[in-house]
Structure 1
Amino acid sequence: MPEDRRIYMVGWARWSVLTGDITRCEVDAIVNAANGSLLGGGGVDGAIHRAAGPDLRAECRTLGECPVGEARITGAYRLPARHVIHAVGPVWRGGNGDEARLLASCYRSVFHLAREHGLRSLAFPAISTGAHGFPREEAATIAARTVHQELRATPDSFRHVMFVCFDAPTFAAFDAAVREETGPRP
């Protein structure tokens, strides 16, 4: 069984893969694997909304729908993070519906908002791998590649980026993808 935390470096940024509860992360922003309504749902989305309290839902109501592949930012309310960035991932439809591009777009949209708001630490869930059915290993590869590109593009912008995985199989998939992307650990 793998360790429950691995740390990699990309320039000045620490990049972690860990198993845990994203609602407990003390970061500038946690990323929510949201649905298009932004009003909560199951899995990570529901957990974030429950932990943040009703003010998060009230703020999300003011934002309207968010298209797949895009993200929106809100306050974090009762969460230890400062913000929540809601990223709407694609539903898996066999890989022929532009799912890979849309998933990468989610991650890029999060980084765009983070840079725009001066956020330096982010915690990501495994976007689209739950109810949306995206195959875990493929999603991990897309996420690792996109995050690595974003960290290399703005090397001084981020201090810590983490993938917070719900279970051991997700941890293993994301750890393998990050290791493949960054090379062997020192």
Structure 2
Amino acid sequence: MRPIILTWGDILTLHGDALVCPAHKHLICGRGLSAQIYARGGVELVTQCQLQPECAVGEARLTRAYQLGVNYLLHTVTPQWSSGDQWGAQALQQLRHCYENVLALAEQNGLKYLLFPALGAGTNRFPHAIAAHQALAVLTACSGQFEQITICLHTPAALGEWQEVKQQFFSV
């Protein structure tokens, strides 16, 4: 099992085989990180995304990354956090599917160095501790299949929450 790297900063400055992009179901420019990725990816990215089939919540799609510091983008549609109401369990399962399907697609395409944002914890409002637990449960189980998995958080505070979850539940 290889360690999962937790860091904070601008994920778009990092290098790897693939960057995971929080996506809209039609792979169009969304909000937050998605908007930044599409802005840097350019017209070629938009054109390739238009050729992709619709992507349901939890599914993943692969495209080239064009002007970004990676070769590929792994797009996945994250669920909306519903504040733990009656649909909360479904949202948690869908978030896990995002990670599982991204990892399966990466493995199918021989991608070994993956960059993840905190899926669901941005504009979809999952609390970081909950998002971290779902992510780390899946990523820890599969980390041996990849050379490096990096999770890049947007703030030092978010990094602290992820580190706490990792230490409490996923330390060996």
What TM-score does the superposition give when structure 2 sets the normalisation length? 0.93
Q: Does 1:112 align with 2:104?
A: yes
CA contact (8 A) 1:16 1:161 kept: yes
Distance in 1, Cα, partners of 2:133 & 2:26: 27
SS in 1 for 2:76: strand
CA shift, 1:145, in A, is 0.9
CA distance in structure 1 between the partners assigned to 2:168 and 2:101 by the alignment: 23
**Counterparts of 1:137 and 1:70, CA distance in 2:** 22
Q: Pick one of 41, 44, 48 that aligns with 2:37.
A: 48
Q: Tell me the distance in 2 between the aligned counterparts of 1:47 and 1:175.
A: 25
**Map of 1:1-186 to 2, 5 A cutoff?**
11=1, 13-95=2-84, 96-97=86-87, 98-151=90-143, 155=144, 157-183=145-171
In 2, distance between residues paired with 1:90 and 1:54? 27
Alpha-carbon distance in structure 1 between the residues aligned to 2:32 and 2:76 = 14
Q: Tell me which amino acid in the other structure corresponds to 2:22.
A: A
Structure 2: any 5+ residue segments left out of the alignment?
A: none
Contact preservation (8 Å) 2:59, 2:101: yes
The C-alpha deviation readout for 1:87-108, integer Å capped at 9, x for no partner, is 1110012333201000000000
In structure 1, the residue corresponding to 2:30 is in which secondary structure? coil
Alpha carbons 2:74, 2:102 under 8 Å: kept: yes
Structure 1 gap ranges (5+):
1-10
Q: Secondary structure at the match of 2:102?
A: helix
Stretches (4+) displaced over 3 A: none
Report if aligned partners of 1:23, 1:51 keep a CA contact under 8 Å in 2.
no
- SS across alignment from 1:28: strand
Q: CA RMSD in A?
A: 1.3
Instruction: Choose 141-150 or 100-109, whichever is displaced more.
Output: 141-150
**Structure 2: how far apart are the matches of 1:37 and 1:166?**
25
Q: Normalized against structure 1, the TM-score is what?
A: 0.86
Does the aligned pair in 2 maintain the 1:148–1:181 contact within 8 Å? no
Shift of 1:160: 0.5
* 8 Å Cα contact 1:14-1:159 kept in structure 2: no
